[in-house]
């Protein structure tokens, strides 16, 4: 049916299931209620001591069984929890039967595990570590430090088809995973795809690495006020954990099985930046190109976007660059397009962010409610945007742009819309 | 043959066998055993180390070299070789619209910092506080970008200006398979016109050995061909290396008058449990999906791990296998792109590869098709079938 196809005759991609876990709680309902009431999930870190750390706050997810089990197990549980919710909502039972695209952080041996092996040996340094590894059984440690481990466990639990793909495009990973799924369905490889974004990597070493790059906010007190995208006194992002999942299906197949259609992924755009490893090109040209590519892929005009789910990290540079890019694309209309940053409340969920924010973008259209940008008490005069300051707003939005930008020159943008009539 | 066929028009290779297509073709045409293998750097583990390369040839800015760790330098260098080979290097328009998929691990560590922390752990009143203090004071800020998986691709964008798009896939050998499978699918469906695909790994450091040895995968003692490592303490001899390919649609290559090495006809991938005969049967089923005729020439990425390698050997016993890990060492994420590159070289030269070691079977005549396999030690397996261009 032509109403199931897009402007290029490709299958339209429906979302039929969504799940989410953030520091605000587990599940769509809980998250959406907290997000629209302007609640922050950012808190003082209790998972590990913060002595010597410049930043002592985070949006860690502390209420799961694996919350203290290290980044591999926690990333898995965040992803699995979100995927269970999404698949249940989609009404698909039994084996999922389509491919899995996972956005996840690079997994590493934890210090706890490294020391547990070290203690079994004698001598010093890595020689001792290697000898102990050879002479004792560390299979469990080995498994959880494999980059393919989380995807395999998810693949087994949900009965996905084929070799799952784990992608990392830094802070754009979630959006990239969605794009991979959209492309696979457009190619006709499958009628459906499971997208999972998960990141449980808030440990001391990870915090210190970001701190050494001056990327994190150090406004530790009070924690919930630290993430203040588009504010004059913003000083960095707040590292956080989260998971999100989306069931993507061709609209035709979703309609054929009578599924409830939550929204449409209309277009995806990407563009790499060649400027710097951790900074974006000052003129914003790669982000501009990614936004334009997403609009073109969606077959949508600039005037159709009714709301922007910002990348909005609360770093001085990102918010400035994002404002410049959006202003370039949307021109004089930009100050009138509402834009808000979920990160003001949940922090930056890194590899999961693109997927988490896609879920919230779809909820925004479904519920007719724009979540606010909280902590907007001191606007940056150089950034003239309608950031939906501090309090949610009712609005009838038919199409949303969601931005994701990351280290390594990663820029990925998604255009999402309501189900066509 | 059709305009949407996926062809290989550029190859970049670096391994212990040298750098570039010619060095590798000669090394595979007349394999020398044992291959270059270092047994002194990391006893008791032999490692296939890469020779000295002149990074300035592909990474002209010293500042760029300093911002990277060894695996990234190796990858960026090799990506440059592939772009040069395809006649696309420094073609700004071509690179700015080029899509990129990199298979990567990363996770580089500062060995000295780790060793200080491990040796001090026992005396620390509170280990976690001690850890915070040491990491805060001792970690180099530049290490983080040098250990992030997607920063090999990021550095390729910076150095070679490949900026159409940039995606990184993770997951050991499976990442290399998925990178190729996704690239081929995007090209043949019209989602892209030209792509850079590849991977790099640099294993010449104890923290890298540890990633393998935590699972007791490393081979100890004298070098052996991959098919013969059946004894105690035998397994994967790891190597350093990188392989990058420039892939285009035939229409795109024809339009710019480039001759191709080979066509990629098919990519199949699966995920079979590594239990009992399941893997053997899974590989056999993949070979059947790939449509491999009996007696095919197969460039095999066998890891040298006994059970996994034997499963592949049994599943593909009707074919002429060439276990290139015997020569290069196991290259994990790089394995699939590397095998595809060698298969493409054989097709371009119109020559079969001779057996590397026992019990590989001879192959007579010029091959019309060559396949490449990668069967992971842990999860994921794939076969790529290439045909003459």
| Contact indicator for A130, B119 with CB cutoff of 8 Å | no
Residues of A in contact with B127 (CB under 8 A): 111, 115
Q: Check if the beta carbon of residue A31 is closer than 8 Å to that of residue A25.
A: yes
On the question of pLDDT at B38 being above 70, the answer is yes
Preferred mutation among A11, A100, A167 to probe B, highest tally of B CBs within 10 A? A167
Residue at B138 is within a domain? no
B164 to chain A, minimum CA–CA distance in Å? 6
Q: Are A415 and A271 in contact (CB under 8 A)?
A: no
Report pLDDT for B107.
Answer: 81
Q: Which of B126, B154, B217 to mutate to test the interface with A (most CBs of A within 10 A)?
A: B154
The partner residue sitting opposite B170, judged by closest CB among A106, A187, A189, is A106
A403 and A309 Cβ atoms separated by less than 8 Å: yes
**For residues A62-84, average pLDDT:** 97
B102 three-state secondary structure: strand
- Chains A, B: CB contacts under 8 A, how many? 235
In B, which residues are within 8 Å of A279 by CB distance? none
Neighbouring residues of A178: CB distance < 8 A, sequence distance ≥ 6: A101, A195, A246, A248, A265, A268, A354, A355, A358, A414
- Residue A348 designated active-site: yes
Cross-strand bridge partners of residue B195: B99, B247
Give A363-374 pLDDT, tens digit per residue. Answer: 999 999 999 999
Backbone angles phi, psi at A192, to 5 degrees: -145, 160
Residues B293-312, mean pLDDT to the nearest whole number: 97
Burial of B335 (0-12, 13-18, 19+ CB in 10 A): buried
**Does residue B150 carry a pLDDT above 70?**
yes
Q: How far apart are CA A150 and CA A128, in angstroms?
A: 29
DSSP code of residue A315: -
Q: What is the pLDDT of residue A2?
A: 79
Q: What is the pLDDT of residues A166-208, one digit of tens each?
A: 999 999 999 999 999 999 999 999 999 999 999 999 999 999 9
The H-assigned helical ranges of A187-330 are 204-212, 251-256, 285-298, 316-330
| Span A207-220, pLDDT tens digits | 999 999 999 999 99
Task: Name the nearest CA neighbour of A180 among A419, A414, A420.
Answer: A414
Q: Under 8 Å CB-to-CB from B359, ≥6 apart: which residues?
A: B227
Query: For residue A93, with 0-12 CB atoms within 10 Å meaning exposed, 13-18 middle and 19 or more buried, which class applies?
Result: exposed
Contact B150 A169 (CB under 8 A): yes
Q: For testing the chain A interface, which of B105, B106, B118, B383 should be mutated: the one with the most A CBs within 10 Å?
A: B118
Instruction: Find the residue in A nearest to B333 (Cα).
Output: A147
Cβ contacts (< 8 Å) between B211 and chain A: which residues? 109, 145
Is A184–B111 a contact, with Cβ atoms under 8 angstroms apart? no
Within 8 A of A47 by CB-CB distance, chain B residues are none
In the numeric block, which tokens belong to residue A26? 């587990």
In this predicted complex, what is the ipTM? 0.98
pLDDT at B106: 84
> Element (H or E) spanning B385, and its range?
strand B381-388
The encoded tokens of residue A257 equal 């099985």
How many other CB atoms sit within 10 Å of the CB of residue B54? 9
- Chain A hits for B155, CB-CB cut-off 8 Å, are 277
What is the distance of C-alpha B48 from the center of its chain? 14
Put simply, the answer to whether B214 touches A138 (Cβ < 8 Å) is yes
Tell whether omega for the bond before A48 is within 30 degrees of 0, i.e. cis.
Answer: no
Give pLDDT tens digits for A297-313.
Answer: 999 999 999 999 999 99
**pLDDT value for B287:** 98
Domain residues for B354? 6-107+148-388
Q: What is the mean pLDDT of residues A315-341?
A: 97
Residues of B in contact with A189 (CB under 8 A): 185
Which CATH superfamily is A2-108+145-417 part of?
A: Thiolase/Chalcone synthase (3.40.47.10)
Residue B121 inside a domain? The answer is: no
Neighbour tally for B30: CB within 10 Å: 7
Mutation choice for B interface testing from A146, A175, A184, A281 by most B CBs within 10 A: A146
In the prediction, which pLDDT does B73 show? 98
Q: Quick check: B23 and B327 in contact, CB under 8 A? A: no
Provide the 3-class DSSP secondary structure of residue B291: coil
Within-domain flag for B329: yes
What average pLDDT does this structure show over B360-388?
Answer: 97
Could you tell me which chain B residue has the CA closest to the CA of A275?
A: B158
**What residue has token string 């990058």?**
B244
pLDDT tops 80 at residue A1: no
Distances (CA, A) of B298 to A371, A385, B3, B43: 56, 59, 26, 32
Calpha distance B331→B236 (Å, rounded): 10
Band of residue A36 on the pLDDT scale cut at 50, 70, 90:
very high
Name which of B303, B314, B302 is nearest B276 in CA terms: B314
Contact B170 A48 (CB under 8 A): no
Tell me the C-alpha distance between A246 and B332, whole Å.
30
Give the three-class secondary structure for B144: helix
Is A311 among the catalytic positions? yes
Q: Which residues from B are below 8 Å from A134, CB to CB?
A: 213, 216, 218, 220
Task: Name B255's Cβ contacts closer than 8 Å, sequence gap at least 6.
Answer: none
B172-188 vs B335-349: helix axis angle to the nearest 10?
A: 50
Average pLDDT over residues B161-167: 98
Q: What is residue B3's DSSP assignment?
A: T
Catalytic annotation present for A112: no
- Return the percentage of chain A with pLDDT > 70, whole number: 100
Query: Rounded to whole angstroms, how far apart are CA atoms A59 and A21?
Result: 11
Percent of chain A with pLDDT over 90: 98
From A268, A311, A323, A413, active-site residue: A311
Distance CA A247, CA A16 (A): 6
Q: So what's the pLDDT on residue A421?
A: 80
Give the model's pLDDT for residue A215.
97
CA distance B362 to chain A (A): 32
Q: Where are the beta strands (DSSP E) in A253-409?
A: 263-270, 307-309, 339-340, 369-370, 393-394, 399-406
| Cβ–Cβ < 8 Å for A22, A204 | no
Q: Tell me the percentage of chain B whose pLDDT exceeds 90.
A: 98
Contact B378 A146 (CB under 8 A): yes
The token pair at A205 is 């070493």
Segment B358-384 mean pLDDT: 97
Examine residue B260 and state whether it is found in any structural domain, yes or no: yes
Q: How, if at all, do strands B369-375 and A369-370 pair?
A: unpaired
pLDDT tops 70 at residue A135: yes
Alpha-carbon distances of B259 from B87, B100, B250, rounded to whole Å: 11, 21, 10
The residue-averaged pLDDT of A262-274 equals 98
Mean pLDDT, residues B176-182 taken together: 98
Which CATH number belongs to the domain containing residue B365 in this structure? 3.40.47.10
């Amino acid at each position: 049916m032509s109403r199931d196809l897009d402007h290029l005759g490709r299958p339209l991609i429906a979302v039929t299931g969504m799940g989410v876990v953030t520091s605000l709680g587990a599940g769509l309902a809980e998250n959406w209620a907290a997000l629209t009431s302007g609640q922050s999930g950012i808190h003082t870190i209790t998972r590990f001591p913060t002595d010597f750390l410049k930043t002592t706050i985070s949006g860690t997810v502390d209420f799961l069984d694996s919350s203290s089990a290290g980044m591999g197990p926690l990333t898995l549980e965040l992803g699995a929890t979100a995927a269970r919710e999404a698949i249940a909502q989609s009404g698909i039972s039994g084996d999922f039967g389509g491919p899995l695209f996972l956005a996840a952080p690079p997994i590493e041996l934890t210090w706890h595990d490294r020391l547990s092996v070290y203690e079994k040996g004698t001598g010093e340094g890595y020689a001792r570590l290697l000898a102990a590894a050879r002479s004792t059984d560390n299979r469990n440690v080995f498994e959880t430090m494999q980059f393919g481990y989380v995807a395999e466990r998810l693949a087994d639990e949900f009965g996905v088809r084929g070799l799952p793909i784990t992608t990392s495009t830094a802070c754009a990973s979630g959006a990239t995973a969605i794009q991979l799924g959209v492309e696979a369905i457009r190619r006709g490889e499958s009628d459906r795809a499971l997208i999972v974004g998960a990141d449980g990597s808030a440990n001391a070493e990870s915090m210190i690495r970001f701190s050494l790059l001056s990327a994190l906010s150090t406004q530790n007190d009070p924690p919930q006020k630290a993430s203040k995208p588009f504010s004059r006194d913003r000083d960095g992002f707040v590292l956080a954990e989260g998971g999100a999942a989306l069931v993507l299906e061709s609209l035709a197949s979703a309609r054929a099985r009578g599924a409830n259609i939550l929204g449409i992924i209309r277009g995806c755009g990407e563009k790499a930046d060649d400027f710097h490893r951790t900074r974006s090109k000052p003129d914003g040209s790669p982000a501009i190109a990614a936004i334009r590519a997403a609009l073109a892929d969606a077959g949508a005009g600039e005037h159709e976007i009714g709301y922007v789910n910002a990348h909005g990290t609360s770093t001085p540079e990102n918010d400035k660059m994002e404002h410049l890019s959006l202003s370039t694309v949307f021109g004089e209309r930009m100050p009138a397009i509402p834009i808000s940053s979920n990160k003001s409340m949940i922090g930056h969920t890194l590899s999961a962010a693109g997927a988490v924010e896609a879920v919230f973008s779809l909820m925004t259209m479904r519920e007719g409610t724009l979540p606010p940008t909280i902590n907007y008490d001191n606007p940056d005069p150089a950034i003239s945007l309608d950031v939906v300051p501090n309090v949610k707003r009712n609005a009838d939005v038919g199409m949303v742009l969601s931005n994701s930008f990351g280290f390594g020159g990663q820029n990925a943008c998604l255009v999402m819309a309501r189900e066509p009539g | 043959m059709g305009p949407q066929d996926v062809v290989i028009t550029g190859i970049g290779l670096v391994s212990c066998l040298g750098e570039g297509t010619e060095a590798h073709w000669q090394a595979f045409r007349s394999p020398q055993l044992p291959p270059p293998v270092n047994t002194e750097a990391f006893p008791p583990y032999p490692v296939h180390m890469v020779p000295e390369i002149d990074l300035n040839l592909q990474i002209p800015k010293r500042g760029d070299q300093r911002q990277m760790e060894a695996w990234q330098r190796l990858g960026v260098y090799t990506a440059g070789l592939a772009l040069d080979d395809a006649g696309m290097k420094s073609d700004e328009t071509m690179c700015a619209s080029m899509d990129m998929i990199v298979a990567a691990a990363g996770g580089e560590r500062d060995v000295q910092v780790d060793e200080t922390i491990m040796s001090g752990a026992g005396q620390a009143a509170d280990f976690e506080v001690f850890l915070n203090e040491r990491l805060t004071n001792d970690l180099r800020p530049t290490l983080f970008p040098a250990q992030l998986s997607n920063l090999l691709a990021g550095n390729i964008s910076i150095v070679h200006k490949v900026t159409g798009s940039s995606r990184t896939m993770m997951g050991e050998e499976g990442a290399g398979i998925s990178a190729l499978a996704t690239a081929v699918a995007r090209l043949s469906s019209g989602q892209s016109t030209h792509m850079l695909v590849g991977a790099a790994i640099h294993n010449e450091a104890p923290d890298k050995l540890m990633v393998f040895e935590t699972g007791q995968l490393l081979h100890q003692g004298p070098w052996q061909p991959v098919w013969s490592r059946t004894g105690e303490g035998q397994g994967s001899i790891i190597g350093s290396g990188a392989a990058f390919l420039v892939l285009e649609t035939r229409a795109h290559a024809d339009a710019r008058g480039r001759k191709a090495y080979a066509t990629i006809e098919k990519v199949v991938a699966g995920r079979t449990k590594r239990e009992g005969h399941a893997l053997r049967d899974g590989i056999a089923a993949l070979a059947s999906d790939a449509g491999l005729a009996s007696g095919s020439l197969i460039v095999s990425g066998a890891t040298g791990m006994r059970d996994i390698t034997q499963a592949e050997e049994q599943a593909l016993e009707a074919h002429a296998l060439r276990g290139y890990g015997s020569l290069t060492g196991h290259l994990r994420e790089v394995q699939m792109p590397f095998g595809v590159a060698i298969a493409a070289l054989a097709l371009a030269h119109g020559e079969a590869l001779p057996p590397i070691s026992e019990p590989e079977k001879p192959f007579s005549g010029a091959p019309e098709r060559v396949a490449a396999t990668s069967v992971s030690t842990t999860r994921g397996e794939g076969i790529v079938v290439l045909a003459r261009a």
